[in-house]
Amino acid sequence: MGVKFQGTLTNWNDDRGFGFIKPDGGGQDVFVNIKAFGRVSERPTNGAKLAFEVELGAEGKKRATRVEYIRSAGSSGQRTQPANRSRRPASAASNSASWPVLALVSFAIFGVLYAWATFRWGVHYYVLLGYLAISGWTYVMYMHDKTAAELGEWRVSEGGLHLLGLLGGWPGANLAQHFLRHKSKKASFRVKHWVMVSLNLGAFAFMASNGMLRLEYWL
């Protein structure tokens, strides 16, 4: 085991899985990759107090390794992971309770809207197949992004996930956020997600009412 240092996480880029640690004793910031945290459930956030070792990378630059969360600057590397475990059931229960409210409402709205549009405006069933296909792809992208985040690999951008939702993949995104527990706690992401859902439903209603989702329109 090497010498343990303490510092504060700064400039963390969650999409790309890396950031820097500002040592408590001063000096140059130390690069840190998500892989250095090991298999911990808590995602790194700016301002987190960390205990870490330092090694030289391939280019001779310092980087952090064997990173652990600490409770405070004087707690000598105590992990906060046990505390996270104690909070996780409550957090999971909260997500499980809140997710169906908006998600099921959005599914219900789409179901009623699609049924009405099919009866009233003759929307082709290919539209539903399209929703299913892009939703499946969106679910796979969420799964890939979560795995990449855990391994410190290149991730799918949040903008890309939102674009998939806007194009009709939001049902798959709803399911992924719930069952994969991915992107389900970040408030700013979820707000944008529901904006994409609303825009997609609005676009569906507009196109259906103007006959743009009939097969004859494209032939």
The 10s digit of each residue's pLDDT in 52-73 is: 888 887 677 788 888 888 865 4
Based on the fold, state whether residues 190 and 94 are members of the same structural domain.
yes
| Domain contains 84 | no
Give the Cβ contact number of residue 19 at 10 Å.
22
Strand partners, 68: 51
Task: Specify the CATH number for the domain of residue 31.
Answer: 2.40.50.140
Least confident of 53-57, 84-88, 155-159: 84-88
51/102 same-domain check: no
Reply yes or no on whether the pLDDT at 35 is more than 60: yes
Question: Inter-axis angle of helices 125-151 and 81-121, to 10 degrees?
Answer: 170
Q: How far apart are CA 126 and CA 200, in angstroms?
A: 17
- With a threshold of 0.75, does the pTM exceed it? no
Answer for the pair 167, 132: CB distance below 8 angstroms, yes or no: no
Question: What is the C-alpha to C-alpha distance for residues 115 and 29, in angstroms, rounded to an integer?
Answer: 58
Q: Are residues 71 and 110 in the same domain?
A: no
Same-domain status, 35 and 141 = no
Residues 59 and 38 in one domain: yes
107-134, pLDDT tens digit by residue? 999 999 999 999 999 998 999 999 999 9
Q: What per-residue confidence (pLDDT) applies to 38?
A: 77
